[in-house]
Homo-oligomer: A and B are copies of this chain.
Amino acid sequence: MATIHDVALQAGVSPTTVSRYLNRRIELPAATAERIDAAIAALDYRPNVLAQRLSTGKSFAIGLVAPEIREPFFAEIASAVEDEADRHGYTVFISSTRSDRARELASLQRLVDRQVDGLLLMTNIPDDGALADMISRRRNVVVMDEDVPGASAPRLFVENREGMALATRHLIDHGHRRIAYLGGPEGLFSVTERREGFRLAMAEAGITLPPGYMVFGSFAPAHARLATLGLLDLAEPPTAIVASSDYLAMGAILALRDRGIVVPEDMSLIAFDDAAFGALITPPLTAIRQPVELIGRRGFQLLLDLLEGREPPALTRLPVDLIRRQSVGAPRRKDLK
């Protein structure tokens, strides 16, 4: 591999000159510039990024920490981040934490050690303060999707409350009153916000929630399946279910399928997130769509603001949309109160 030295030698100038020329810090006479260009071409020289980084302290790389890149939601965000970063000359290190506290911290540390310029952080486990601590120590981190309470960093969330209220109202508008709620793990900011949205819409409509109609736990489909089975065994089972994530809806579908319950005739179902597979289910899933592409792009832009010394807003909220497909219908007559 040719170095800047080789180029300098071949062009008959000093490495300094080559470096400055390449970094546009200097205007060279045409003749010199040409000699350097020729040498670069002849030697197929390309700067050693590592050396550049070490020397400048700038890496033009950022880290993206996600719970699990295998999940479509995070994969799509990652993809958008990468694209946006690429557009600005940055590369992205992606790291999955598998929702494991230790891995999360380790991932973070590793990325910090690798001297990336900044970090885009997504977590989905409640923090005990350690994470908030690490984040607050630096000012090159943006928190996305889920809050890390107490961390001083720009945050980027979607309209969880409004979105969930929208979903709930959609069911109410179809005539449902016995509406059950599948939440995620308690202690998470977004879980709380979404629940509030649900409660808000129910209260607006003057509906009181029967006991057992709200279930919290993990985001695992298996858990949602069990929870749904429980819902179906109630004396007065719901006529509609709000799932606060696609994965939860997946679990619900599994349970409904087990019991031979048809969506939307016997049960309406609406989800939050709207990953790609929702459109493929039969019937296609009505859902609140998170603007994943936008989350990724905006997240990177916020980080870039930080890196380039601009002051990004402390909190950014992105709007969500109701995507009407076919998993929501009117309740059966006999089920109406």
Residues of A in contact with B (beta carbons under 8 Å apart): 1, 46-51, 53-54, 59, 68-72, 75-76, 78-79, 82-83, 91-96, 98, 109-110, 113-115, 250, 253, 257, 276-277, 280-283
Contacts and interface: CB of A to CB of B under 8 A. Distances in A.
Count copies of this chain in the complex: 2
B91 A110 contact: yes
Contact of A72 (B75, B96, B109): B75
B59 A69 contact: no
Nearest to A293: B70
Contacts of A49: 110, 113-115
A236 B240 CA distance: 43
A52 B252 CA distance: 50
Contact of A69 (B75, B98, B253): B75
Given A49-B110, A50-B114, A277-B280, 19 more contacts: A49-B115, A50-B54, A50-B59, A54-B54, A68-B79, A69-B94, A70-B72, A70-B78, A71-B75, A72-B72, A72-B75, A78-B94, A82-B94, A83-B96, A93-B93, A257-B282, A277-B277, A281-B281, A282-B283
Contact of A1 (B68, B70, B114, B280): B114
A92 to B, nearest CB: 8
Nearest to A54: B50
A109 B281 CA distance: 40
Contacts of A1: 114
Contacts of A109: 46
Contact of A48 (B79, B93, B113, B282): B113
Contacts of A115: 48-50
